[in-house]
Structure 1
Amino acid sequence: MRILHTSDWHLGRQLHGRSLLADQAHVLEQVLDIAERDEVDVVLIAGDVYDRAVPPAEAVSLLGNTLRRLCVELGKQVILIAGNHDSAERLGFAAELLGHAGLHIVGPLTAEPRPLTLVAAERGGHTVSAIAVDFFGLPYAGPAQVRQTLGVEVSSHDEAMGALLERVESARDHSRPCVVMAHCFVAGGEASDSERPLSLGGADQVAGDRFAPYTYAALGHLHGPQHRGAQHIRYSGSILKYSFSEARQRKSVTLVDIDGAGGVTIAQRDLKPLRDVRIIEGSLDALLATGHTDPAADDFICARLTGSGAVLDVMGKLRAVYPNALQAVRLTRDSGGARFGAGRDVLKQSQYELFREFYCHVQGEGMSDAQQRYLQSLLQALQQEGSL
């Protein structure tokens, strides 16, 4: 049986205020092509299909069209679980009815997970035989939800996953290969800036060896493709780069072949974005000169600026050659960098912080202690006068 494992589509997401729907549609066309060209039997979508619980209408339409083409036009079986960004109840609407069309949605958590047994022709050799595989879809559920649904005492995500997998063990047929889908943060996983934390203080992490007994663990939540511990415990990663921290990642889907003996072969198929997410570095003049001949000038750009001296209207100049420049960072001697560009964080900053950043932007270096003391006294005087 050949499985295509994907996750974290985040349909409807924006990158620094820019819509990514066209980029998502472009990549999903490639997912459809891979499913057809590689003769996939089953497509697994391991959560966070939407970016928020109430997605925009355009995102719903894109998902509906993609699933229709997978199930109806290509005849693939699709299993979809809810992630922490999804509304499990909304996603699970009409799930029983849709299952008859080959679309198996696991929305809200249930107390007794049941296997979905799918059958496909075994690949390889000179004879054709059928292979049956059990699939268990575990939607995202925090400790409180697991306590309420299962009636067990758990206090962490690891304990919650352990309780769920105990139910899976009770329900599985050990004579067949077994695939578990889950949306969670496996301990030791490499995170990026675009994942929403499941909880604070590390309590969101799940021990990877909990998934060791299964033929394959199709995981979602972490956006970088990776395996944790054994090769068969794997994140497919997101379909696009959703932050500049992912700029060096190669996005892909994972192909998994399972034979009748439970043997697993894993491969990846790269996805090519409509517009890449890139970090460029150099002086502003050098970047502007390069931009005029850059064939990928429409990419989403973060510019890391070197050099010193006054730099005014950085984003305006960058966007003249890189229309999708989203961020610029001045590399300074005393810090990791100071940011240019529109950002909502400025609304949370004090006048002191804003002026200090502006000084760093223009001068290319931080304020001295004496300058900072003078700025503080000046702002205090203005506040007392009622001018601020």
Structure 2
Amino acid sequence: MTAPYTPTFSRNDQSHVAQWFWTVDRGLLSAALALMGLGVALSFASSPAAILADESITDPFHYSWRMMAFAGMGLTVMLATSLMSPRGVRRVAVLALFSAIIVMAALPFIGDTVKGAARWVNLGPFSLQPSEFAKPGLIVFAAWMFAEAQKGQGVPGVTIAFGFYALTVCLLLIQPDIGQTLLITTTFMAVFFMAGVPFKWMAVLASAGMAGLVSLYFVFGHMRDRLSRFTSPETTDTHQIDSASEAIRAGGLVGRGIGEGVMKRRVPDLHTDFIYSVGAEEFGLVLSLIMIGLYAFIVVRGMRRAMKLTDPFEQTAAAGLFMLIGLQACINVAVNLNLIPTKGMTLPFISYGGSSMLAMCVTMGFALALTRRRPGAYEPGASLPGSRRRLL
């Protein structure tokens, strides 16, 4: 007789890895892995066209091999961070935030300037974008500070959180990076709201945010140019977004077929900011809906699990991290569909880029670690929306 199949890890196995396997949300993990797999697959579709912009590259799958390496490193980082305890997540997030701030402060002196922005540090074969790692670090750190403020033990958590938020935003504007600034601001305010801030404070902050947005319009010329191209496309060059939109329309329902896309040869940054249009042209609306569905699954399932956590820090930190992933995906897709001005934002887990891939894997790893089923982490009826604590 054939021996019955037994799972890799028994529920009686008390090893750290076995406990992780039975407590981590395998649905969320599977969705993230599926997106990473799609990213690697689409890199093979985009790499031959992407190398045309760089005559020094001869291997048509240069970006594909690098994407596979980034995905492998990212998977290792995601699994390693998902093994952490909430305290471990907090420590690593604070370290990531502080390190990113230090490197961002040094970018005007040591950074590489690309397209008028100094956002990267050249490390030989790899370029590091520290702002990518500042995002999850700031979200977790802010959630921690807000949770400490709720305890009423004299810790000025709100002041500290806003101080580091302001510092991070200032460093981003120096680069300049308006897209990341808007993303971090939106997610930070969402975490602040979920921590229990009264609605009147949110109205004040929303007004301040609108005033800041208007100020950015007058301060940064490239922001005015992008908004002008979006609102008056007939008066300026819109080749990039027009080519991306045409590629999406040409894909139809099921796409042109693997390797049959032609518009990708006309789309600048097709393997990074506009990878969505590459996938839509070759695989059609079907693949587009699958990608959007996977992001929606991660956000909805992740937020539901986060809202059931009993600890205020774990709840707001996990919810903020899932929201960060969802908002970044929404911005990238909206740009590709010409619904908003271009932002230079990557598509999480799918766009080519080592910093983006590793940072998104850190973000997902943090979220998986915080939502693991630990003793006392979830209590029936606890942390419901109607029982929000007041922060101020």
Question: How does the TM-score come out when normalised to structure 1?
Answer: 0.28
- The structure that is strand-richer by fraction is 1
Larger RCO (CA under 8 A, 6+ residues apart): 2
Question: How does the TM-score come out when normalised to structure 2?
Answer: 0.28
